[in-house]
Amino acid sequence: MESLGRFAVDALVDEATLTPKPALVDARSSGVHRDLDLPRMLRSAASLRPTFDALAREATGRSPSQRLRERLAHIGRCGEEAMLAATGGSNSHRGAIWIVGLLVAGAAMRGAAGGADGIAKTAAAVAQFPDRLAPHRASNGARACARFGVAGARGEAHAGFPHAVRIGLPALHAARARGVAEANARLDALMAIMAHIDDTCLLHRGGQRALDTAKMGARRVLAGGGTSRPEGRRALDALDAELVALRASPGGAADMLAATLFLDRCTAWKH
């Protein structure tokens, strides 16, 4: 099960270092984030290895239940504390702890059975149970869900992570099949996710305008042949400039890309 913790951290590192991403932290800059940069993101990812290992151990041999849900939630909150200590108080991976953490638990419970879809459905079964011990404070994402009527990360988990399983992974595999470089394949997967997901990070920072800008811009990248093609790359650069001007970043899509990369590693390893 230690492999699952390593896969989770590797997925966070690969997402953070992937360059160029629109308005997000990468190897070029901090995007629109004033309290984050790549070294902090990498410290945050490394700090979460014990959390992901603990989630895998807790879930191994278990079935979805209220007790398991609350045990995993407790481990996740301890992971948030480690993340905040590593970043000096910046929220670098709170969404990823929930999304990737649940998938780690699903992989530990499910093993090879059912591939990525099976892992995601098992994680979704755990997410259906309420976290009765959760702090009574609304996150930025929860407030965006309430204001704009979108599902958010919790709805994504309840639905079995469709933006990772049905969109991110197929886009990643299709790009690889075309023979593009791995970085471009991952960027194309990010664009596919951005083109569809109701990203609460964008909604919180820039409202409906930011979300619409991100979706339309990502679709233009894909229509231009993806990030490995000159037209697609120009569209990516234009999208970056538009989102930076709006001071809004697609953090939810970035978390879903990390989930996609985690599932990709799990299925490659299992088979």
- Is the four-CA dihedral 203, 171, 222, 258 of positive or negative sign? positive
* 234 pLDDT tier (thresholds 50, 70, 90): very high
Instruction: Return the HEC string of 170-206.
Output: HHHHHHHHCCCCHHHHHHHHHHHHHCCCCCHHHHHHH
In the numeric block, which tokens belong to residue 111?
A: 């093993």
In the numeric block, which tokens belong to residue 173?
A: 């595999």
**Predicted local distance difference test score (pLDDT) of residue 164:** 98
Share of the chain above pLDDT 70, in %: 96
Domain that holds residue 134: 2-270
Q: Decide if pLDDT at 224 tops 70.
A: yes
Average pLDDT over residues 228-253: 97
Report whether 184 contacts 226 (CB < 8 A). Answer: yes
* 110 pLDDT tier (thresholds 50, 70, 90): confident
Query: DSSP string covering 10-61, please?
Result: HHHHHHHH-SS-TTS--SS--TT-SS--HHHHHHHHHHTHHHHHHHHHHHTT
Based on the structure, what is the number of domains in the chain?
Answer: 1
Q: Decide if pLDDT at 64 tops 60.
A: yes
Rounded CA gap, 191 and 199, in Å? 13
pLDDT in tens, 117-167: 999 999 999 999 998 777 666 677 778 778 888 888 889 999 999 999 999
* 219 pLDDT tier (thresholds 50, 70, 90): very high
**Predicted local distance difference test score (pLDDT) of residue 271:** 40
